């Protein structure tokens, strides 16, 4: 058995993978593969409708917000958010908490003035800045809720006088949030919702159509809303697997239930990191991520042997991002707590062997 701690594409529930595999051969008894049916067919329209319904239900999306399934990954939304929300001659505010926040900031510069309200770059993004002022004259305030590379997470969202745009790619559906506190939420599916290839966008309708610029149809949220996420051929398979995953989440008790499981997984693993003299965390404790647990060995000579030991135990995906090194245990929704305990046991056994 493999214990998949990979950062993304991340682990999916086994029952979801089984259903998806069956659908690739024979979708719902149609005699056709899911990969070859028309996206305009009643069978797929039912899938899309169910997926949209589940997002609205599980995430408690209020009226006045539209839900979209788009292509291009969250990285495309780095540009589409300012394209659709930043007026000509306007400015946008950004909180810089890691690589992805920085990339979003760079894309916004093409559309107007950008302001970095705070950054933790000087500490290699080991914490979330907290003491700063959000400019009231900016069009929106962009944040990244969870930083996969550095292992930090916003555990409380900021009260903002302007609309908040949030990249929730790596922690969406992992905890309860109040969608009404945001003007735009976007997330690549491949961490907690489904396979790579589809991106979820939740946007407040009354923010749109105010940029005073012409937006190409494929990049215009309003066009996509009017087309029901089917202005062009959508990523059928990725939407279907996302629907299955959301149904799995609903059966487990929804976001509230999975949040308790995620908290328990994070607590157990951070407790071992702090206890074990061979390892240490890399972030300030109050900002530690409950999705991506980043840590290092005290002795650099232990890094490769520990990875090899984990591989022998069936623990995969533990190597840290190439830009920072160390280890990163991604404990997304579908990772069972039993896998976390296998990793903890490996850390304790490795300690015994290296006293």
CB-count exposure of residue 85 (10 Å: 0-12, 13-18, 19+): buried
Domain-embedded: residue 169 = yes
Same domain, 227 and 318: no
Instruction: Give pLDDT tens digits for 13-40.
Output: 999 999 999 999 999 999 999 999 999 9
H-state helical runs in the chain:
14-25, 42-58, 73-85, 99-108, 221-226, 236-251, 254-275, 303-312, 337-353
* pLDDT band (50, 70, 90) for residue 355: confident
- Residue 340 belongs to some domain of the structure: yes
The answer on 149 and 33 residing in a single domain is: yes
Q: Can 248 be counted among the known catalytic residues?
A: no
Which of 167, 171, 204, 248 is catalytic? The answer is: 167
299 and 190 in a single domain? The answer is no
- Asked whether the predicted pLDDT for residue 322 surpasses 90, the reply is no
Distance set, CA 46 to CA 28, 260, 333 (Å): 12, 31, 25
Are 201 and 172 within one domain?
A: yes
Give pLDDT, residue 1: 84
> DSSP of 316-355, one letter per residue?
ES-BPPTTT-SEEEE--TTS-HHHHHHHHHHHHHHHHHT-
**Residues 243-275 pLDDT 10s:** 999 999 999 999 999 999 999 999 999 999 999
| Residue 324 pLDDT exceeds 90 | no
Domain membership flag for residue 9? no
Catalytic pick among 2, 53, 100, 176: 100
Same domain, 36 and 99: yes
On whether both 316 and 205 belong to a single domain, the answer is no
Summarize pLDDT for 179-213 with one digit per residue, the tens: 999 999 999 999 999 999 999 999 999 999 999 99
Task: Verify whether residue 274 is a known catalytic residue.
Answer: no
Q: Which of 324, 277, 302 is nearest to 126 (CA)?
A: 324
In angstroms, the first-to-last Cα distance of the chain is 29
The three-state secondary structure class of 182 is: coil
Q: 69: domain range?
A: 14-251
The answer to whether residues 306 and 220 belong to one domain is no
User: Does a structural domain hold residue 1?
Assistant: no
**CATH classification at residue 283:** 3.90.1150.10
7 part of a folded domain? no
Calculate helix-pair angle for 236-251, 14-25, nearest 10 degrees: 140
Per the structure, the count of domains in the chain is 2
pLDDT of 321 over the 90 cut: no
State how far Cα 198 lies from the chain centre.
12
Catalytic-residue membership of 100: yes
The DSSP secondary-structure symbol of 6 reads -
329 and 348 assigned to the same domain: yes
- Does 283 lie in the same domain as 158? no
279 shares a domain with 242: no
- Domain end, chosen from 199, 230, 251, is at 251
CATH of the domain at 144: 3.40.640.10
Q: Are residues 123 and 209 in the same domain?
A: yes
**Of the residues 218, 251, 284, which one is the last residue of a structural domain?**
251
Q: Using CA atoms, how far apart are residues 202 and 224, in angstroms rounded to an integer?
A: 12
Residues 6+ apart with CB under 8 A from 18: none
Token pair, residue 295, equals 């840590």
Active-site option among 191, 248, 265, 287: 191
Given a contact cutoff of 8 angstroms between Cβ atoms, the answer to whether 208 and 222 are in contact is yes
């Amino acid at each position: 058995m493999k214990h998949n701690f990979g950062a993304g594409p991340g682990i999916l529930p086994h029952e979801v993978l089984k259903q998806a595999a069956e659908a690739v051969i024979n979708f719902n008894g149609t005699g056709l593969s899911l990969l070859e049916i028309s996206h305009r067919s009643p069978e797929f329209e039912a899938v899309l409708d169910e997926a949209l319904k589940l997002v609205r239900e599980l995430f408690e999306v209020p009226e006045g917000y539209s839900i979209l399934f788009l292509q291009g990954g969250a990285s495309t939304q780095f540009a589409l958010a300012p394209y659709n929300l930043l007026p000509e001659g306007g400015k946008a505010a950004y909180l810089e908490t890691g690589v992805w926040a920085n990339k979003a900031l760079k894309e916004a510069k093409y559309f107007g003035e950008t302001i970095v309200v705070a950054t933790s770059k000087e500490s290699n993004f080991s914490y979330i800045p907290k003491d700063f002022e959000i400019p009231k004259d900016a069009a929106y305030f962009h944040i990244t809720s969870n930083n996969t590379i550095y292992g930090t997470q916003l555990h409380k969202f900021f009260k903002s006088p302007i609309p908040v745009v949030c990249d929730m790619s790596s922690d969406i559906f992992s905890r309860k949030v109040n969608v009404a506190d945001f003007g735009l939420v976007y997330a690549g599916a491949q961490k907690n919702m489904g396979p790579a290839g589809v991106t979820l966008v939740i946007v407040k309708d009354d923010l749109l159509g105010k940029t005073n610029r012409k937006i190409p149809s494929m990049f215009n949220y309003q066009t996509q809303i009017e087309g029901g996420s089917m202005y062009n051929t959508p990523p059928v398979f990725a939407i279907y697997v996302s629907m299955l995953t959301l149904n799995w989440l609903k059966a487990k008790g929804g976001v509230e239930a999975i949040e308790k499981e995620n908290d328990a997984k994070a607590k157990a693993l951070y407790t071992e990191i702090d206890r074990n003299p061979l390892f240490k965390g890399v972030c300030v404790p109050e900002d530690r991520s409950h999705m991506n647990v980043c840590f290092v060995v005290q002795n650099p000579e232990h890094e490769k042997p520990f990875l090899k030991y984990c591989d022998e135990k069936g623990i995969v995906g533990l190597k840290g991002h190439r830009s920072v090194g160390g280890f990163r245990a991604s404990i997304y929704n579908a990772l069972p707590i039993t896998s976390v305990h296998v990793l903890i046991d490996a850390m304790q056994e490795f300690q015994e062997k290296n006293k």
